[in-house]
A = this chain, B = another copy of it.
């Protein structure tokens, strides 16, 4: 937790209640939540919390590298505090998003020319085990 506070300070961000709460939620729930989900979850404990704050906080977390944005469906931006190299699987039936991991040195297609890659995203869509058998 101290590392979190320090990370915020290193980026000229204050470790406010709201920011810490959002970040803690992301660290505790590896469910790739949307801003709305986080807002709904925190709202009871932070009655004055604003949706806008959640959105702004998530954007800051993304900008400073504490979280990654996951865009699989249009109009549904999810966030993940695990910024390590991994992929996502979204079940088209239940909507749940699963992580899947691979070797650090897994070979990914290279790009010809002088493209400068900053982010790499890999995701699958289909049926999760539970929905497949149902």
Contacts and interface: CB of A to CB of B under 8 A. Distances in A.
Interface of A: 71-77, 87, 89, 92, 98, 100-102, 106-109, 111-129, 132-133
The 7 closest A-B pairs by CB, nearest first: A102-B109, A118-B126, A119-B125, A116-B127, A117-B126, A114-B129, A116-B126
Nearest to A69: B74
Contact of A111 (B72, B75, B89, B114): B89
Give the number of copies in the complex: 2
Given A100-B109, A119-B126, 20 more contacts: A71-B72, A74-B74, A75-B75, A89-B117, A98-B115, A100-B112, A109-B122, A111-B124, A114-B133, A115-B124, A115-B129, A116-B127, A117-B124, A117-B126, A118-B124, A118-B125, A119-B124, A120-B124, A121-B122, A121-B125
13 contacts: A71-B73, A89-B117, A102-B109, A106-B107, A106-B109, A107-B107, A114-B132, A116-B127, A119-B126, A120-B122, A120-B124, A121-B121, A121-B125
A127 B121 contact: no
Given A73-B71, A119-B124, A109 B87 contact: yes
Nearest to A121: B123
